Chain A
Amino acid sequence: MSDLNPSNAAAPEGEPTHDEGVSYLEAGHTIKSWLLTGDHKRIAILYLISTTLFFVVGSILAGLIRLELTSPAGVLLENDTYNKVFSAHGIVMIFFFLIPAIPAVLGNFLIPLMIGARDLAFPRLNLASWYVFMAAGVLAVFGLCTGGVDTGWTFYTPYSSLYSNTQVTIVIMAAFLAGFSSIMTAVNFIATVHKMRAPGMTWFRLPLFVWAAYATSVMIVLGTPVIAITLALVVLERVFRLGVFSPELGGDPVLFQHLFWFYSHPAVYIMILPSFGVISELFAAFTRKRVFGYHFIAFSSIAIAGLGFLVWGHHMFVTSQSMYQGVVFSLISFLVAVPSAIKVFNWTATMYKGHVRMQTPFLYALGFIGLFTVGGLTGLFLASMGTDVHLTATYFVVAHFHYVMVGGTIMGFLGGIHFWWPKMFGRMYPEFWGKLSAISVFVGFNVTFMPQFIVGFMGMPRRYHYYYFAPEFQIYNILSTAGATVLAFGFALPAFYLTWSLKKGPKATANPWGAHGLEWQTASPPITANFVSTPIVTDEVYDYSHMDEYEQQKSTLEMDKPGTPGVETKDGEVIAEEPK
């Protein structure tokens, strides 16, 4: 990558233009310069702030649920309130945190940097997507504060369309708008990956994060419009009695479920695929090796995107869906395990003979492997019709999808945030607190959701706010609530130390991890135009073997003491930051 122009501390070469070398954070200090920006990096920061706020809202609601369930008779909430709380928790977390978190924050920030572009293909569309997202979020919070919804995040008809006397219309419109925001982002990513790659950046030199974001974008473009029109039809049925789904009006409620899950099952992959991409990057950087089976991981993302659209029926084994249909859906659901397993095996194989560094991002990545594997394997229980009939609508399902969606996505998100934090803000986070947070999240998560598998298997139904009929469930629920407390501690930590590091953290070099990739070739934080001049890619992706010995040593040492401006070699010699 010697053709590239690192523009960190050293004075940039080449013909100077007037804002060369000014980091994107310094390019303007007014509120207006942030709210009217076209810079993908700034929009990513806007998304980071807003999705974090929604995460806090969703977490508080989760806390209420856990508190309520510590006693068999319920503690705090009435029936109706409890229904509204778990619906709000699901809606806020899924539509306003899990789906946008990685694509809109890390994807926005990294895709142009990783492919060597100056910006995304459509900067104004990108900004518009954030405004639409915020409008959706404000609408949802308004709806949830002025009555809430009691339908669950699934909005099943006919309850949602004809019976529920809550703010269904407003909240559905919010979900509809949030979908538009995702489609805008996805169209932007697809056009960018196809047409904005730097010279020499071929498809098989793309970092795996870009492959994953691309596969996600394809799923968003194909799936989101279906949920949009389905939810719009629910609103039409509710407001104008335009019956499509309600049996009273001649419609078929199971059609709603088909259309809903046609999007909402792929939505799980929309949440998890970008996380796969982050994990691939982390494994390459922290084992200092090319990811084992690069092509297999890239194509397994595409395979998951394809198969993900053919499994929605496994949410409907206990509906009027025919048994033969169920058998086919069950079979295809099992098939999804194949590309998922390819990924997990390839990641673990990457560690073999690698220089493994147990730093915070990699701890998150390892935690991801653990949680995702448990989540994926318990998914097979639910994909088998025989066991699913027993486990449908129990806490087993709740635990399963939290392991996959939440364990998978949040571990990837936090791992990625820590890994790219020095790139985003030019500061290192404190390593000790980072490790503490990664371990607390992993332990807290397992203590929260492992008991739910057991209590679900014993028959505790989901969405109930009491279980006085089976007080023996209490011990599991108390364990779960205790775990949630540890989890909350693990999530709260980064909020504090990352904010602290913005001002007080040690300054990061352009490539504090010694990682390989275009985003590490430019300054931390990057300049507004990303690169001083368009990079020309001449080597393969994750090509750690060709780094010269000096680079190897330097980056290995830098990983031991991240962010140290000048690091010592084993011989005690101090290396200047940018040797010539």
Chain B
Amino acid sequence: MAAVTHDHDHHVEGLHHQFEDMEQQSETYLVGMWSFLVSEVMFFGAMFLAYSLYRWKYQADFHAVHENLSVMWGGINTTVLLISSFTMVMGVHFAQLRKGKLVQMMLGATIACAFGFLFIKFTFEWPAKAVEHLVPGPTFGTIKEALHGANPRPAELFFSLYFAMTGFHALHIIVGILMLAYLANMWRKEHPLVTKDYVPTELIGLYWHFVDLVWIFLFPLFYLIPR
């Protein structure tokens, strides 16, 4: 857009040149974000399909090996993400009220929760699987107790899906942190794009809630398989 510096005499701060007014800009942003989220649903959807297929095929093995996952850490992480969603909502709320300082605080709290989530996952959860030889590969399942009586191949499939799905989710959290940090910085600099209109803040909020929602499905599917 650098090349397009022309346009209306009545230039509105925070309004991009291709739009007529702020309302059109906000609505267009929202349509764009929702379309992107639909595509994200399909992205995770394919993995959920694979998960459903294999869980249906290997019910007993999936139940047995899932006991290896720590419901405590999973539960704590779920709570952390739910709190982060709350702080994100408050961030959007304060953005509507144009209270820049409070928005920055709330975005900061959301980022802190996100780091907490990643910290728990990458220090308490994933490394423990490596110690128990539950990372898919040639040594998978060589510690028999860690399998909780499951057959090794279905158990390996379970952990393949576990690492793939929670891994892609963690990637989305990392991208979310970057987006939140960028947004918080725009608020700090009082960029007109965010201060004149709350919708850009809401867009990041929508993305963040989506990431949260994916975890709300991942947690019961991996940690809470019923007998």
Chain A residues near B (Cβ < 8 Å): 15, 17-19, 27-28, 33, 36-39, 42, 117-125, 183, 186-188, 190-192, 194-196, 221-226, 228-230, 232-233, 236-237, 240-244, 249-252, 255, 259, 262, 528-529, 534
Q: Do A194 and B31 have beta carbons less than 8 Å apart?
A: yes
Complex: A241 Cα to B53 Cα, angstroms: 19
Interface SS majority for chain A:
helix
Q: Do A195 and B27 have beta carbons less than 8 Å apart?
A: yes
CB distance from B68 to the nearest CB of A (A): 17
Q: Do A117 and B160 have beta carbons less than 8 Å apart?
A: no
Q: Do A259 and B46 have beta carbons less than 8 Å apart?
A: yes
Bits for B1-34, please: 1 = Cβ < 8 Å to A, else 0: 1111011110000001111100010011101100
Q: Do A225 and B164 have beta carbons less than 8 Å apart?
A: no
Which residue of A38, A187, A229 contacts B36 across the interface (Cβ within 8 Å)? A187
A-side contacts of B17, CB under 8 Å: 118-119, 529
Task: Tell me the count of chain B residues lying within 8 A, CB to CB, of chain A.
Answer: 46
Q: Does B116 interact with chain A (Cβ within 8 Å)?
A: no
Which residue of A196, A242, A262 contacts B18 across the interface (Cβ within 8 Å)? A196
Q: Which of B32-72 contact A (CB under 8 A)?
A: 32, 35-36, 38-40, 42-47, 49-50, 53-54
B-side contacts of A38, CB under 8 Å: 1-4
A-side contacts of B50, CB under 8 Å: 233, 244, 255, 259
Which residue of B3, B137, B154 contacts A28 across the interface (Cβ within 8 Å)? B3
Q: Do B157 and A27 have beta carbons less than 8 Å apart?
A: no
CB within 8 Å: A-B pair count: 148
CB distance from A90 to the nearest CB of B (A): 22
A-side contacts of B168, CB under 8 Å: 229, 232
Complex: A183 Cα to B43 Cα, angstroms: 12
Q: Do A190 and B4 have beta carbons less than 8 Å apart?
A: no
If A123-B18, A241-B136, A244-B164 touch, whether A226 touches B2 (CB-CB below 8 Å) is no
CB distance from B12 to the nearest CB of A (A): 14
Q: Do A528 and B4 have beta carbons less than 8 Å apart?
A: yes
Which residue of A37, A118, A252 contacts B53 across the interface (Cβ within 8 Å)? A252
Which residue of B9, B32, B137 contacts A240 across the interface (Cβ within 8 Å)? B137
Q: Do A17 and B6 have beta carbons less than 8 Å apart?
A: yes
Which residue from chain B places its CB closest to the CB of A258 in the assembled complex? B49
Q: Do B156 and A250 have beta carbons less than 8 Å apart?
A: yes
Q: Do B164 and A236 have beta carbons less than 8 Å apart?
A: yes
Q: Do B7 and A244 have beta carbons less than 8 Å apart?
A: no
B-side contacts of A196, CB under 8 Å: 18-19, 24, 28
Assuming A183-B39, A225-B42, A243-B156, what are 11 further A-B pairs, CB within 8 angstroms?
A: A28-B3, A38-B2, A39-B3, A118-B7, A186-B39, A191-B35, A233-B50, A249-B160, A528-B3, A528-B4, A529-B7
A-side contacts of B31, CB under 8 Å: 121, 190-191, 194-195
A-B CB contact pairs (8 Å), 26 listed: A15-B9, A17-B6, A17-B7, A38-B1, A38-B2, A38-B3, A38-B4, A123-B1, A186-B35, A190-B35, A194-B31, A196-B18, A196-B28, A222-B42, A225-B45, A226-B43, A229-B44, A237-B160, A242-B163, A244-B161, A249-B153, A249-B156, A249-B160, A251-B157, A252-B54, A262-B46
CB distance from A449 to the nearest CB of B (A): 33
Q: Do B2 and A240 have beta carbons less than 8 Å apart?
A: no
Q: Do A242 and B20 have beta carbons less than 8 Å apart?
A: no
Complex: A242 Cα to B9 Cα, angstroms: 58
The 3 A-B pairs with the shortest beta carbon distances in the complex, nearest first, are A38-B1, A225-B43, A250-B153
Q: Do A224 and B3 have beta carbons less than 8 Å apart?
A: no
Complex: A17 Cα to B9 Cα, angstroms: 8
B-side contacts of A33, CB under 8 Å: 3
Which residue of A28, A194, A259 contacts B49 across the interface (Cβ within 8 Å)? A259
B-side contacts of A194, CB under 8 Å: 28, 31
If A226-B46, A251-B157 touch, whether A123 touches B4 (CB-CB below 8 Å) is yes
CB distance from B30 to the nearest CB of A (A): 9
Complex: A241 Cα to B43 Cα, angstroms: 21
If A17-B6, A222-B39, A255-B53 touch, whether A250 touches B1 (CB-CB below 8 Å) is no
Complex: A250 Cα to B168 Cα, angstroms: 21
Complex: A242 Cα to B6 Cα, angstroms: 52
B-side contacts of A237, CB under 8 Å: 160
Q: Do B45 and A188 have beta carbons less than 8 Å apart?
A: no
CB distance from A178 to the nearest CB of B (A): 15
CB distance from B126 to the nearest CB of A (A): 13
Complex: A259 Cα to B137 Cα, angstroms: 24
Complex: A36 Cα to B44 Cα, angstroms: 33
Complex: A467 Cα to B19 Cα, angstroms: 61
CB distance from A180 to the nearest CB of B (A): 10
Which residue of A42, A188, A243, A244 contacts B32 across the interface (Cβ within 8 Å)? A188
A-side contacts of B20, CB under 8 Å: 534
If A122-B32, A187-B39, A190-B32 touch, whether A244 touches B2 (CB-CB below 8 Å) is no
A-side contacts of B32, CB under 8 Å: 121-122, 125, 187-188, 190-191
A-side contacts of B160, CB under 8 Å: 236-237, 242-244, 249, 251
Which of A28, A123, A186, A223 is packed against the most chain B CB atoms within 10 Å?
Answer: A123
B-side contacts of A249, CB under 8 Å: 136, 153, 156-157, 160
Which residue of B28, B38, B161 contacts A221 across the interface (Cβ within 8 Å)? B38
Q: Do B18 and A225 have beta carbons less than 8 Å apart?
A: no
Complex: A194 Cα to B28 Cα, angstroms: 8
Q: Which of B128-185 contact A (CB under 8 A)?
A: 136-138, 153-154, 156-157, 160-161, 163-164, 168
Q: Do B156 and A225 have beta carbons less than 8 Å apart?
A: no
A-side contacts of B44, CB under 8 Å: 229
Which residue of B6, B7, B24 contacts A195 across the interface (Cβ within 8 Å)? B24
A-side contacts of B54, CB under 8 Å: 251-252
